[in-house]
Amino acid sequence: MSKIDPGWNFDNSYARLPDAFYTKMDMNAVEKPSAVILNHPLATMLGLQAELLESQEMVQVFAGNEIPEGGLPLAQAYVGHQFGHPNMLGDGRAMLLGEQITPSGERVDIQLKGSGRTPYSRGGDGRAALKPMLREYIISEAMYALGIPTTRSLAVVTTGETILREERLQGAILTRVASSHLRVGTFQYAAALESKEDLQALADYAINRHYPNIQTDENPYLSLLREVIKRQADLIAQWQLVGFIHGVMNTDNMTISGETIDYGPCAFMDTFHLETVFSSIDVNGRYAYGNQPKIGGWNLARFAESLIPLLHEDSNKAVEIAQKELYEYNKRYQQNWLTGMRAKLGLVKEEKSDEKLIEELLRIMQNSEADFTDTFRSLTIGTIHKSKLGTVEEYLEWESKWKARLAQEENESACFVRMRKHNPSIIPRNHLVEEALEAADQGDISVMKQLIDLLSNPYAYSEEQLVQCKPQESGEVPYQTYCGT
């Protein structure tokens, strides 16, 4: 047990679920842990004394060598459709230390990722490499700054050990903070147990933790399905609006809370194209940018299937109920996306012709190989004609239509203010992320810290951001990202 207490206020409600949902764990000690980066602002939000994070005692906690006061380490069980194929999974390289109750009364999971073998490791070493853990730190913090629901990163430490992937790499552990780690795959696992009591226990737990307002509804499990559908429709629309590509939208990577989770081969799109894929393992483009909304619906269908025993005593009636609710996903997603795209173009009023105007711009962008973020940033600050797209005749015709549409708004100058709030001036560009990771891997964390500082207020439109915001020239080899497992 750790001797220093920076303000841990742990509970372990997940451990009060039936034993089938987890395995209590002994810690997997590492040889020589060392702090790489610590998230002081997040620590303060959690009610922790940020200055104590630097202590060797806390490094031992982040490395999995010590248990914080009140912690109860466990690995969660779940299944997942990986690229459409079901597999028994679980935390194969992660360990839940406990749930921190923050000063505001919020309950959040504190999890170590890369903490070693568990009963769910399926022959793997349970470890993680430094660069993938730092990638998650960068991207999750960037998503938080963009206002997109996400898990966050409290710390990354090296383990002093070498792990073997395609090559020998530095071992590392990331401390992840999440509203919970309840996944669609957790419910699929519960349904596979064929115990209605266990399934109901999990559903009641999820409702109590994330949607307590529906506890008194006539059918709270139907309400749970509705709420999760809403959260995911909102979340994926937000991904699409900033060009974020998750990379592995398996059912074990979709949360019940509606947070983005498991930043593996993720990246932000540069050149706009619906078929953009970065993940080295997504050879068929299942999780391409343009497919993300559809896959979100597919995953939600798997969630609905798991709830069938709780939706109605008659399974046929339960299926009808579920199908009706799933139909709402597409409508809500489309409305969220359309509202967001209107905002990116400065439009407040809702005109029937808006969707056609938006789709026409995206088609021109794709045909012209325009950069997604830079196009909307340039439209926002009036520099679009300095770009390649700004010289394309088809774009110029579209621009005249857009300006005519803007003229229908009550306050045209307010439209551009609106655009600044919805079009980031900077995103974690792939080349910037890679530069930061390479430097950190060589022991220089300053490049990563500077990047995170730039990303912390993506709508600032500062001079430094405008210098760093440009995409890198495309190379001959397409950019790829990797899971790190």
Structure token digits, residue 393: 């005749």
Angular region, 123: left φ>0, alpha ψ -120 to 50, beta rest = left
Measure the CA–CA gap between 286 and 453, rounded to whole angstroms: 33
- The secondary structure of residue 46, as a DSSP letter, is T
Beta bridge partners of 74: 24, 96
Active-site entry in 91, 109, 198, 252: 252
CA-derived radius of gyration, the chain: 23
Structure token digits, residue 118: 């568990």
Check: CB of residue 12 under 8 Å from CB of residue 98: yes
Active site residue 125: no
In the three-class reduction of DSSP (H, G, I as helix; E, B as strand; rest coil), residue 335 is classed as: helix
Between 354-367 and 393-406, two packed helices, what is the crossing angle to 10 degrees?
160
351: how many CB neighbours lie within 10 A of its CB?
12
Check: CB of residue 377 under 8 Å from CB of residue 365: no
Which among 79, 75, 66 is positioned nearest to 95, based on CA atoms? Answer: 75
- The secondary structure of residue 306, as a DSSP letter, is H
Structure token digits, residue 318: 């339960």
- In DSSP notation, 380-419 reads HHT-GGGSSGGG-HHHHHHHHHHHHHHTTSS-HHHHHHHH
Find the angle CA(258)-CA(260)-CA(262) to the nearest 5 degrees.
130
- In DSSP notation, 165-196 reads SSSEEEEEEEEEEES---BHHHHHHHHHTT-H
389 CB burial (10 A radius; 0-12, 13-18, 19+): buried
Residues with Cβ < 8 Å from 166, sequence gap 6 or more?
none
Beta bridge partners of 255: 183
By annotation, the residues acting in catalysis are 252
